Amino acid sequence: MKKLVLALLLILSLLMEGCWSRREIEDMAMVTGMGIDTVKVAGKEKFLITFQIIRGTGGPGGMGGGVGGGGVGPGTMVTQAFWVTSSIGDNLADAVVNLSTRSPRKVDLAHMEVVVLGRKVAEEKVPEVVDFLQRERTIRLRTWVVVAEGEARDVVTSQPELERSLFKGINSLIFNRKDVSKTEVVDLKDFLIALADPGREPVTGVIRVFRPPEIKKMASQAATGQAAKVVRLHGGAVFARGRLVDFWDDRTTRGYLWTQSKAERGIITLSLPGFSRPVALKIRGSLARIRPEIKNGELKIKIRVRVQGDINDNQNPGAKIADIRVIKGLEKEYARAVKDEIAAALRRAQEKKSDVFGFGEAVHRHLPAVWRQVEKDWPEVFAELPVEIEVKAAIKHAGLADNTIKIK
Amino acid sequence: MLEKGRLYWWQLQWLLFNTVFPTAVMFVSAITAQVARQDAWIAILLFATVFGLVAGLVCYYLGIRFPRLNLVQYVDLLVGKAAGKVISCAYIIFFLWINAAIIREFSSFLATAFMPETPELVFTATIMLLSAYMVRNGLEVMASVNQLLVSVMLFVFASITLLSVNDMDFGRLLPVLEKGWLPVLKASLTPGYWRTEVAVMLMLLPYLKEPREGKRAVVRAVLILGFLVTVDVISNLAIFGPELTANSTFPTLNQIRYISLARFLDRIEAVVMILWVAGILIKVGVFYYVAVLALAQLFQLEDYKPVVLPVGFLLALLSDVLFTGSQDLKEFIIKPLAVMAYTFHLAIPLFLLLVAAVRRVGQ
């Protein structure tokens, strides 16, 4: 009897080894990133999602060849390794499923790294977009959220540079943003938190599509007729109450970064009194503290920022840049420049009543009693909020040169 | 005696631990944060622990009056045969009911988060077959299996917490006690009843090698749970903030999915889930075992093994028909189950303890 049962179990385990939710890799259409736009179809507004999908094995042309094979336009290479496609639906869920009317493989969002929101979507459709992004099981909260300056599909259809995958490239740009400190990008988790939790509004990166001058000149490019559009990531997309309200330039965005201790590396250019040409510093990190306080019955915010930098580029030949007195002046100038940038960001944010700095959050955490009074009309309170900015700057190193050489 | 196995106190301690932990770590932070917001951890650290300690100690002091008898055996001595049978029946029904909810939690969790195309019945059948086998083999086997699983579970829990420290912003726990103690107290009712599940000790205490050590087992189990579940809730809150924690179906699953170490170590949720499933196996097993044992005792069978399979079948069936879906199940867990749990884990044992004290029954 026992042997019979055992034998039966063994046979069964052979027959039942499969499972329902099994997916073979060659049957999957793995989405690396998607762009969300809206379009009018027969008078009705619908969502248009543009996907970049890994073609993997078995696709036309396969994965063969590396980038830069002689004579092959970048377009050809891309169509081999990736499939750029789109689908339309009444909502995100519908649009994603509708892709399966076209994709012979099962659409899989689990490896998606970036979601690009088209400008119009970011302005008007955020409430209609966030729920699916949080609820859908396969989408990860670590997915980056960026905003396209124009249509998201222009981003997805642009050419990758250096990497084979556009979104792998964008993903790396996002990781490298700290080397430049001219943009901030949030992932889905932080985007949702900033949308939902009181006292802070989201800022994320802007993807801009442009035609690079160096490629336009290449004759081979003109011959293939390929639209050589590429992307850059810089500047900030600022939200308020679930809407995109402002695009910030690099300087303003860095003003925001200083207040969040997020300006880690990058270059800041200063013009020094007594120097005819500017001096560039390498940023060596920032440390900020935001504290709310009540003075004379009035709510006030104090921002204290400590920044460090190295001399990286002096354009004044013969200047005694490494002199300790000059460095003291440089530190002063550095602090003033940082303060100016913060003030610029503050002005823009208050104009749009968007508390990207998390002042409300600071009030909520440190003065909960005060927060209860101002919570209701916080955007208005924020717009008029007096803010004191205090910056201390230190120059640490001067690179491999002492004073700049004299040119005879 | 139906059960001949004997446990060490630390085996009971970890058995009680796993009677609460697996589902608590999955659901409790969201449910608590919905009411207590960023103060959810206080509810879990303080009040839930008090609830657990009270329930655990009441059950211990009741049980220790009859060191070698379990609830179904001594309840007759306390309130008479007729009333005793009614109470025993009620307990059996309760054990089945709560277990049906646990099994369904497990199946719907797997179906929502991992394998949406697999029928829930498959998960239910799998875990029922496994735990039926475990229960058939008796308490000692279950305790040993648990011992093995607990050590790995603790290791995994510590790992996921450490791996996500980088993403935690403890500022999200501020301000503390924003709305005062009342919402915290209110929020603690759910994690509180979760902790009172250590009351399954009513059925397990006589099988300790030395029943007097049951006190140490239950107190330590409640405290360990308090610590670990608090760590879990604090991590959830510090990573996701109160709004997103309250809004997630499985905040801890989100936490694990969010782990990414240097763009290199990520998507580890599948590995973690294997162990979670193992924990739930013990949880289901414990409630399954006490139901089977109580049933066999009630009908004075010579052996509980013949009822194992029928009860398992019944459990699988109940878990399927009692609830329509996850939201329905959540409703049940938050309200009716809380009332039932406080009744059977706290109120009735307390009543029996008073009866025993007044009538001077037992030692």
pLDDT (tens digit per residue) in B46-76: 999 999 999 999 999 999 999 888 898 889 8
Among residues B14, B28, B10, which one has the least CA distance to residue B234? B28
Indicate if the alpha-carbon torsion angle A234, A240, B234, A301 is positive or negative. positive
Structure tokens belonging to residue A69? 């094979």
pLDDT of A78 reads: 41
Q: Token pair of B263, please?
A: 């763009």
Among A71-75, A321-325, A400-404, B43-47, the range scoring the smallest mean pLDDT is: A71-75
Any alpha helices (H) in A99-163, and if so which ranges?
A: 119-120, 126-135, 152-156
Candidates B198, B201, B206, B248; CA nearest to B40 is: B248
Those residues whose C-beta lies under 8 Å from the C-beta of residue B133, and which sit 6 or more positions away, are none
Residues A143-149, mean pLDDT to the nearest whole number: 95
Q: Compute the nearest-CA separation of A175 from chain B (Å).
A: 10
The conformational region for residue B282 under phi > 0 = left, psi -120 to 50 = alpha, else beta, is alpha
Architecture of domain B9-359: Up-down Bundle (1.20)
Q: Alpha helix (H) ranges present in A269-323?
A: none
Per-residue pLDDT for A20 more than 70? Answer: no
pLDDT for residue A67: 39
CB B40 within 8 A of CB B245: yes
Whose CA is closest to A149, among A173, A125, A121?
A: A121
Cα angle B160-B166-B172, degrees, rounded to a multiple of 5? 100
Asked if A20's CB is within 8 angstroms of B175's CB, the reply is no
Give the pLDDT score at A76: 43
pLDDT digits (tens, 9 = 90+) for A246-275: 999 999 999 999 999 999 999 999 988 888
- A-chain residue closest to B243, CA distance: A197
Residue with tokens 């631990």: B17
Contacts of A364 in chain B (CB under 8 A): 174-175
Nearest to B341 by CA among B197, B229, B201: B197
* Nearest chain B residue (CA) to A190: B240
Cβ neighbours of residue B32 closer than 8 Å, sequence gap 6 or more: B40, B43, B44, B187, B188, B190, B191, B233
Summarize the confidence of residues B94-123 as an average pLDDT: 90
Q: What fold characterizes domain A250-408?
A: GMP Synthetase; Chain A, domain 3 (3.30.300)
On average, the pLDDT of chain B sits at: 90
pLDDT tens sequence across B200-243: 999 999 999 988 899 999 999 999 999 999 999 999 999 999 99
The pLDDT of residue B271 is above 60: yes
Backbone torsions φ then ψ of A208, nearest 5 degrees: -115, 135
Q: Say whether pLDDT at A360 is over 70.
A: yes
pLDDT at A10: 82
What's residue A16's pLDDT? 66
Phi, psi angle pair for A61, to nearest 5°: 90, -25
More confident residue, A260 or A64: A260
* Residues of chain B neighbouring A368 (CB-CB closer than 8 A): 175, 178
Q: Alpha carbon B100 to chain centroid distance? A: 13
Could you tell me the two tokens for A322? 């490494």
CA-to-CA separations, B60 to A29, B52, B203, in angstroms, rounded: 58, 12, 11
Q: Look over chain A and give the mean of its residue pLDDT values, rounded to a whole number.
A: 86
Q: Which of B244, B257, B260 to mutate to test the interface with A (most CBs of A within 10 A)?
A: B244
Q: Which of A130, A137, A176, A291 to mutate to test the interface with B (most CBs of B within 10 A)?
A: A137
How confident is the model over B279-288, as pLDDT tens digits?
A: 999 999 999 9
CB-based contacts of A80, cutoff 8 Å, min separation 6: A55, A59, A60, A61, A62, A63, A64, A65
Count Cβ atoms below 10 Å from residue A57 Cβ, excluding itself. Answer: 9
Look at residue A323 and tell me whether its pLDDT is greater than 70: yes
The ipTM assigned to this model is 0.87
Q: pLDDT tens for residues B138-184?
A: 999 999 999 999 999 999 999 999 999 989 999 999 888 888 899 99
**Predicted pLDDT of residue A213:** 76
* CB contact A175 to B (< 8 Å): yes
What are the structural domain ranges in chain A? Answer: 23-248, 250-408
Reported confidence tier of residue A222, pLDDT bands at 50, 70, 90:
low
Answer yes or no: is pLDDT of B316 > 70.
Answer: yes
Is the N-terminal amide bond of A212 cis, ω within 30° of 0?
no
Which pLDDT band, with edges at 50, 70 and 90, does A320 fall under?
confident
**Average pLDDT in the A38-48 region?**
91
